[in-house]
Amino acid sequence: MIFHKRLALKFLVLVSLWIKYDPIFVAGEVRCIEREREALLTFRRALIDDYGILSSWGIEDEKKDCCKWKGVVCSNTTGHVISLHLRGDRSRDISYLRGKISSALLELDRLIDLDMSGNDFGDDRIPEFIGSMKQLQHLNLNESSFSGIVPPQLGNLTNLRTLDLSSNLLRFDNLDWISRLSFLNLLDLSDSDLSNVTDWLEQMMKLHSLRDLYLRNTSIRDVRPSADLFANSSSASLSVLHLSQNELTSSTFDWLFNITSSIVTLDLSFNQLDGPIPNSFGKLINLEILGLSSNMFGHEIPNSLGNLSHLQSLALSNNQLTGPVPESLGQLSKLQYLDVSFNSLEGTITEANFMKLENLYWLDLSINPMLKMNISPVWNPPFQLDYINLAGCNIGPRFPAWIRTQTDFTWLDLSGARISDQLPQWLSEFSSPFVEYLNLSYNQISGSVPDFSSKLISIVDLESNMLSGLLPLFHPSTWFCQLSLNMFSGSISSLCTVSYGKLELLDLSGNQFSGELPDCWEKMKGLQVLSLANNYFSGEIPRGFGALSDLRSLHLRNNSFSGELPSTLKNCQFLKLFDIGENEVTGTIPAWIGENYRYMTHVSLRRNKFHGSIPPEICNLIQIQMLDLSRNNISGEIPECFNNFTSLSEKNGMLSEEKENSMHNFIIDYALVQWKGQELMQYRNNLRLLKLVDLSSNRLVGDIPRAFACLKGLISLNLSRNDLTGKIIWDIGEMETLEILDLSRNKLSGVIPIGLAELHYLAVLDLANNNLSGKIPLGTQLQSFNASVYAGNSRLCGLPLALCPGDGAAQDDDGSVTPSSLSVSYNYMIEFWISMAFGFTFGFWGVVASLVFIRSWRTAYFHFLGSIWEWLYVTSVLFSAKFRGSST
């Protein structure tokens, strides 16, 4: 015994001396191996470090120990670098590296873990030399801007346990090399191109250690594997399978259930799976997460899903599912996430559907219009929900009382849920410190809004209800407040009692607010959208609006504002939509509208009391898409510089927009404009497609500027009810996208230019009450309009008006057609049909002769022939109908 104690004591002494004098363990000594330190410095020189990520790397004395460098991990026993973690973060542009990966890394021959994810390697290819780092067990190049063919040399990394190449622009010609990675546990090739790999499933089946497989958005194709593939392969280890965002069809089920016996997570969302959901899913008893969203599944939700006792997440949204929600789902006691939104489910939801869902925190039944809820008002649910979305369901008419028990929610959407009840005051009693979203819009909810001023609700949407009372107040940190189309009334001066520094959208339009606007807008400097339209406000527009330097959209339409536009508005230099139509604003149109608003796309000053001329500075609004100055007292000539409107000159859409850095995508600007044939139209969602100039109902004089012909993207032009003289511009046919043209009630003279007949999209035309003369040009468009659009031009003739002298069918005083006119009309018809037949025959046989000998022409032509024949047929019928009309 004494001998053993002495032996142990000697061993401890030797170990302590070794630790004391070995340079790896001496305090203050450099543990880093010199060769590897130099390799790391060479590696660094190939990188561009904009954010100082590698600032701890260097040759200075205090930086010599590379084992202390950021991202570097050394072995505690050997001092060799074993791990290099230099993960970047480009998602929020926080910090990342650029440049190239140097082959100096080959000197790190003990490296087992390399993570360069989240950096930017400039769409370069993955270096082939990485395949020589044979000690690697973990390789992560996720989201690092690599592209091109993946080098097959990666198959030499036979010790790899995890390989993540996802979220790059990589392409695979084959996966033959991957079968050599026999120890691979996790493989993520998401967002790569595997469209050329037809045996992807066969190759994956050779990876017997594979547990997690991610092939999201890889363009993989349906496969039809042989039966012996599964007999000779082991897939028992596979527990996570992500195949979402591909084009897989229901033939996938022929092999899927052969490899998923032990599956825990299965995601097949965003594919083309159709038919009924297979009952076989109910046999995957280990399943915890099942994603089948955004497919084309129909029929009812199978009861067999109620057998998945371990299921925690079930996503069936955006399919074509019908029938009731099976009560068997209410038995899934571990279920936390349930989403069946955007289907055609029907029937009635009762307490039985939630019987044992005590762990449920996410419930989304939205956009199932035929789905009803019949829940007892005294029901106490077994769950406490964080996310509640019942939008577009039939849960009314009463406000669901069970919501009162859900005190921890952060998202509540009951919009369009057919509720016609008083808004309960208890709704403000929730205990959650932060609610991201509260939406009760598009119901018939009445009453007053409870006091939410102490509750942090980020987004409030109560639009289109019957709510009344004074303006409700919300938390100072609210950033989206939508209260439009209700019955709120009184002054809005209470806004001044709270500093809404984070508020970005405030919409009070379509209510009954009245009085003058308060001038405390400096408390809302973050506002980007402000709509006070369609109320009863009066007085002058506040000068304090000039403090809203981030304002993008200002809507004051249809009130009783008076006075001149305050010059402080020119401080709102990011303004894109400015609508003060239908007020009593006076003065001249200020020049600063054109000088200060570089991003302006929509301006409406219609139906006010502006006078004076249109300032030429307005032509600086190069991004303008809608300019409405109608129904004012504007005089003078139209500026000759409208060709500066670059956006209106482009046929394809509009100029690229500035990046919106804080407004969510669901914020939709809107404007009210006058569209010919209708008094007012409200554009939502498609506002950015509207291209319009309306200068009607003013006192403008002079000629129509030829600059209008440059506006090739203009859809609607209204110059009616002015005192314009001269001729219609002869090159009006260059305005190719014009759909609406109103030049009525002016003093225009001369002939209608033939180019007007070439406007193929023209749907609305009004040239009435001018001094036009001559013959209406022949064309399929101009003759199709009612004669009233040409009325009041006494010297105008031709179809659809009376024919011009010597042009055929003359009429007697009583309006009857003479025999000579019938003869002329008949001869004209004969000439027309002869020319049509000759042209068609010559063209047809000329093309056929070519197609007989030129195969490429033949293939392309037959795709085109159908549309040509349809055009010829419609044209001939139209001409025939018109000439028959002239003969009767």
> What does the pLDDT look like over 295-349, one tens digit per residue?
999 999 999 999 999 999 999 999 999 999 999 999 999 999 999 999 999 999 9
Q: What does the alpha-carbon distance between residue 671 and residue 434 come to, in Å, rounded to a whole number?
A: 33
Residues 6+ apart with CB under 8 A from 874: none
The answer to whether 311 touches 335, Cβ cutoff 8 Å, is yes
The helix (run of H) or strand (run of E) holding residue 19 is helix 2-21
Cα→Cα distances 326→322, 333, 355, Å: 11, 15, 12
Residues 6+ apart with CB under 8 A from 817: 809, 810, 811, 887, 888
Of 204, 175, 212, 209, nearest to 192 by C-alpha is 175
Q: What does the alpha-carbon distance between residue 387 and residue 103 come to, in Å, rounded to a whole number?
A: 49
Q: Report pLDDT for 95.
A: 86
Q: Report pLDDT for 18.
A: 39
Residues 6+ apart with CB under 8 A from 785: 765, 800
- Which parts of the chain sit beneath pLDDT 70? 1-30, 92-93, 226-236, 652-689, 780, 808-888
Residue 16 buriedness (CB in 10 A; 0-12 / 13-18 / 19+): exposed
Q: What does the alpha-carbon distance between residue 43 and residue 212 come to, in Å, rounded to a whole number?
A: 32
- Cis peptide bond prior to 397, omega within 30° of 0: yes
HEC states along 443-507? Answer: CCCEECCCCCCCCCEEEEECCCCEEEECCCCCCCCCCEEECCCCEEEECCHHHHHCCCCCCCEEE
Residue matched to tokens 């004969």? 830
SS3 681: strand
Query: Rounded to a whole number, what is the distance in angstroms from the first to the last CA of the chain?
Result: 133
Region of residue 347 (left: phi > 0; alpha: psi -120 to 50; beta: else): left
The answer to whether 461 touches 439, Cβ cutoff 8 Å, is yes
Q: What does the alpha-carbon distance between residue 86 and residue 90 come to, in Å, rounded to a whole number?
A: 13
Q: What does the alpha-carbon distance between residue 653 and residue 633 come to, in Å, rounded to a whole number?
A: 32
Would you tell me how many other CB atoms lie within 10 Å of the CB of residue 23? Answer: 9
Q: Report pLDDT for 277.
A: 96
Region of residue 453 (left: phi > 0; alpha: psi -120 to 50; beta: else): alpha
Q: What does the alpha-carbon distance between residue 501 and residue 511 come to, in Å, rounded to a whole number?
A: 24
Q: Report pLDDT for 180.
A: 95
SS3 407: coil
Cα→Cα distances 344→300, 322, 323, 368, 745, Å: 10, 5, 8, 5, 53
Would you tell me how many other CB atoms lie within 10 Å of the CB of residue 757? Answer: 18
Give bridge partners of residue 655 from the DSSP assignment.
none
The answer to whether 377 touches 395, Cβ cutoff 8 Å, is no
Residues 6+ apart with CB under 8 A from 153: 128, 129, 130, 131, 132, 177
Structure tokens at 791: 């009325």
Q: What does the alpha-carbon distance between residue 541 and residue 566 come to, in Å, rounded to a whole number?
A: 7
Q: Which residues of 632-662 are buried (b: 16+ CB within 10 A; e: fewer)?
A: bebeeebbeebbbbebbbeeeebeeeeeeee
Would you tell me how many other CB atoms lie within 10 Å of the CB of residue 329? Answer: 22
